[in-house]
Chain A
């Protein structure tokens, strides 16, 4: 037990150690986050001032703003899609790479590469892939003789969101693969070896040894992926500006920026930010409860 009464001089130095970081963090993240809560009850317009409007922004968002509701639906769609193209695909690749045939570590290194690139760069590159006339995807279809399948991928409500999801998978699958791979490294070799001695096939080893032991990593990955899905902005802003066709690829974040900064509704944008943050916190809370319950059950 630490003593609670430390002489004055004793804690000045520690505080000085923390102070720069805390001031910086409080000034740029903490206080503004609280400020968002305050702003969400206001109507704020550049050059026109502030006005208290109570819950108006929230009722507006939840009951009248069809674009916002659509963007939440899109966000959930994006979330589930990324769980598949990022996490699930990452898991599959990690399990394959973990089989350690010669040269497999090379693939592991290669798959992680897109993580280095800025999302803006990736978005612009993929705009070329999806380009309705000169895009390499459509040109591929044309040269393969499927001219009638040529499609304005990013400009059609059916495909705009899935097309961006694919890009998202392109970037992040390698990241989740690395997380799973690191998790697999932690599994004692002896466990797999003994299963193999018991006559388990490769597939059975994966199914009954590796995957159950990856549960914790899986939970983390799902948490990162789902909270990340709600923060999505860059790719959508670059690839489908203005929310894409009829707002079918509008994200909460892109709509927030449009409302707040283009339409100059800073207060309304703050309310959207609060709702979005609440969703992110909710997902984290679910994860924490899951962790807690698991610990209770296991010990």
Chain B
């Protein structure tokens, strides 16, 4: 009988060890020199550069540890970040998209006011001027701007366009014409993977904002009273996408592929256009150097009420947790992270379009320089649906776009269905407790 006792004791000890070690929650953070840094860069050269910058910071500040919490961006936005805070061990510095999400975090009491820090010794002047509206709530700044993300541009394969003997399209008609030529030549005119709904959701949102005008677009997505998704302008915008779908311009299985799978045919040179954000540049220059590509903004849509030079974009950056016990350290880290040298590293290694002016000067990758000029010249930066507005509204809206792109329903049906779902949200908000309400 004794061996059984010994055995069970060993089991118990082993169990406690297994559960206890391996750092529950990576150690509940009480250490004044341990900084928790949450972001959504889970791989690629950007992640490597983040690692380098953090290591460098640790080297410059002996005793300091920077713990990175990297969560994939599709999860980060909703459940990911919410759970980090709900879990009782919040990060000190965390990534966020500017605009509505900054307001949300402010309303949820997570955001520290960074205005004073930025005004000290001219830190604020190091950034581009057009980024500030994205970081503010009631005139106070809650986010250090980091990246200018152009959420959707149309990448195209230069060699294929030359073989088709077509010019770079400037208007929607020209664009459709080039697509038709490509289709006749046996190419895939437009490739995308919309399984997660944001890829073409973003592009659709941009097209709609061009057709309906930025004001109506913003009001509708902000659920302003009296607005409807199934309004003539929105329907008109989605009809443009429907036309592309009905002409068979999209790749087969467009709504069943993930974003990266959708890119495959572009990388292999089978597809002409690929609508996606500026960030893929990093991947392409590093992984497919033989690809000869360029990009255009969404073509001008004649008769549209919006600004036809607008770009779809979002400023993202880093926020500090309001009750962070080591604010000084966090600020020191953020300043180091946003120094021209650190940002230059990101620019050079990964083609990141940073909001720090000094890092974007001098020799630049040509596509990146083009993006910088595009962003500086544009009169309007339109926020995309998913990061610029409430997540639940965006989901329903992007579902409608997905439905049209997949040929599952007409723009009218899709948008009316979207309206019915939005109606529920409005009723929900009318109850009083709402995360969506402006603070």
A261-B435 Cα distance, complex, nearest whole Å: 13
Contact of B108 among A47, A66, A132 (CB under 8 A): A47
* B144 smallest CB distance to A (angstroms): 23
In the complex formed, the residue of B with least CB distance to A242 is B197
Q: Mark B184-213, 1 if CB is under 8 A from A, else 0.
A: 000000000001110000000000000000
Q: Is the CB of B253 within 8 A of A67?
A: no
A45-B424 Cα distance, complex, nearest whole Å: 16
In the complex formed, the residue of A with least CB distance to B425 is A263
A241-271 interface with B by 8 A CB criterion: 241-242, 245-247, 261-265, 268
Report chain B residues within 8 Å CB of A47: 85, 108-110, 435
* B29 smallest CB distance to A (angstroms): 20
Pick 21 A–B contacts, CB within 8 A, sort by A: A43-B433, A45-B433, A45-B434, A47-B108, A47-B110, A48-B108, A48-B435, A51-B433, A53-B431, A60-B427, A64-B423, A65-B424, A133-B257, A152-B253, A152-B255, A155-B257, A242-B196, A245-B403, A246-B406, A247-B399, A261-B82
B395-439 interface with A by 8 A CB criterion: 395, 399, 402-403, 406, 408-409, 417, 420-421, 423-424, 427-428, 431-435
A217-252 interface with B by 8 A CB criterion: 241-242, 245-247
Interface residues on B, range: 35 or more
Q: Is the CB of A132 within 8 A of B257?
A: yes
* B114 smallest CB distance to A (angstroms): 20
Q: Is the CB of B255 within 8 A of A245?
A: yes
Q: Is the CB of A46 within 8 A of B82?
A: yes
* A190 smallest CB distance to B (angstroms): 44
Q: Is the CB of B196 within 8 A of A241?
A: yes
Q: Counting CB contacts under 8 A, is A167 at the interface?
A: no
Q: Counting CB contacts under 8 A, is B256 at the interface?
A: yes
Contact of A133 among B196, B252, B392, B432 (CB under 8 A): B252
Q: Mark A44-85, 1 if CB is under 8 A from B, else 0.
A: 011111110100100010001111000000000000000000
Contact of B408 among A56, A131, A245 (CB under 8 A): A245
A152-B409 Cα distance, complex, nearest whole Å: 17
Given contacts A246-B399, A262-B78, contact A154 B435 (CB under 8 A): no
Q: Is the CB of B79 within 8 A of A43?
A: no
Q: Is the CB of A246 within 8 A of B427?
A: no
Report chain B residues within 8 Å CB of A49: 433
* A48 smallest CB distance to B (angstroms): 5
Report chain B residues within 8 Å CB of A265: 428
A242-B420 Cα distance, complex, nearest whole Å: 18
| A interface residues (Cβ-Cβ under 8 A, vs B) | 43, 45-51, 53, 56, 60, 64-67, 131-133, 150, 152-157, 241-242, 245-247, 261-265, 268
Q: Mark B359-379, 1 if CB is under 8 A from A, else 0.
A: 000000000000000000000
* B425 smallest CB distance to A (angstroms): 8
A155-B85 Cα distance, complex, nearest whole Å: 34
* A223 smallest CB distance to B (angstroms): 33
Report chain B residues within 8 Å CB of A132: 252-253, 256-257
Q: Is the CB of A263 within 8 A of B408?
A: no
A242-B406 Cα distance, complex, nearest whole Å: 15
Contact of A157 among B110, B252, B408 (CB under 8 A): B408
Q: Is the CB of A155 within 8 A of B424?
A: no
Known: A155-B406, A261-B78. 17 other contacts (CB 8 A): A43-B428, A43-B431, A45-B435, A47-B108, A47-B109, A47-B435, A48-B433, A66-B420, A152-B256, A155-B255, A241-B195, A242-B395, A262-B78, A262-B392, A262-B395, A263-B391, A264-B435
| B interface residues (Cβ-Cβ under 8 A, vs A) | 78-79, 82, 85-86, 108-110, 195-197, 252-253, 255-257, 261, 264, 391-392, 395, 399, 402-403, 406, 408-409, 417, 420-421, 423-424, 427-428, 431-435
Q: Is the CB of A152 within 8 A of B252?
A: yes
Report chain B residues within 8 Å CB of A53: 431
* A47 smallest CB distance to B (angstroms): 4
A269-B305 Cα distance, complex, nearest whole Å: 40
Between B109, B261, B408, B427, the greatest number of chain A beta carbons within 10 A of the residue's beta carbon is seen for B408
Contact of B261 among A46, A133, A154, A156 (CB under 8 A): A133
Q: Is the CB of B417 within 8 A of A66?
A: yes
Report chain B residues within 8 Å CB of A67: 421
A101-B151 Cα distance, complex, nearest whole Å: 63
A246-B402 Cα distance, complex, nearest whole Å: 8
In the complex formed, the residue of B with least CB distance to A66 is B420
Report chain B residues within 8 Å CB of A154: 256
A264-B85 Cα distance, complex, nearest whole Å: 14
In the complex formed, the residue of A with least CB distance to B265 is A133
Q: Is the CB of B82 within 8 A of A264?
A: yes
Contact of A46 among B86, B256, B409 (CB under 8 A): B86
Report chain A residues within 8 Å CB of B253: 132-133, 152, 155
Given contacts A64-B427, A242-B197, A245-B408, contact A51 B255 (CB under 8 A): no
Contact of A263 among B256, B264, B392 (CB under 8 A): B392
* B75 smallest CB distance to A (angstroms): 10
What 10 A-B pairs have minimum CB-CB distances, sorted nearest first? A132-B253, A155-B256, A152-B256, A152-B253, A47-B108, A263-B392, A132-B256, A262-B78, A155-B255, A51-B433
Report chain A residues within 8 Å CB of B434: 45, 48
In the complex formed, the residue of B with least CB distance to A49 is B433
A131-B261 Cα distance, complex, nearest whole Å: 10
A202-B427 Cα distance, complex, nearest whole Å: 64
Report chain B residues within 8 Å CB of A242: 196-197, 395, 399
Report chain B residues within 8 Å CB of A153: 256
A53-B391 Cα distance, complex, nearest whole Å: 23
Report chain B residues within 8 Å CB of A246: 399, 402-403, 406, 408-409
* B211 smallest CB distance to A (angstroms): 23
In the complex formed, the residue of A with least CB distance to B110 is A47
Q: Is the CB of B431 within 8 A of A56?
A: yes
A265-B421 Cα distance, complex, nearest whole Å: 14
A246-B432 Cα distance, complex, nearest whole Å: 30
Q: Is the CB of B196 within 8 A of A66?
A: no
In the complex formed, the residue of B with least CB distance to A153 is B256
A131-B195 Cα distance, complex, nearest whole Å: 12
* B242 smallest CB distance to A (angstroms): 15
In the complex formed, the residue of B with least CB distance to A243 is B399
A43-B421 Cα distance, complex, nearest whole Å: 18
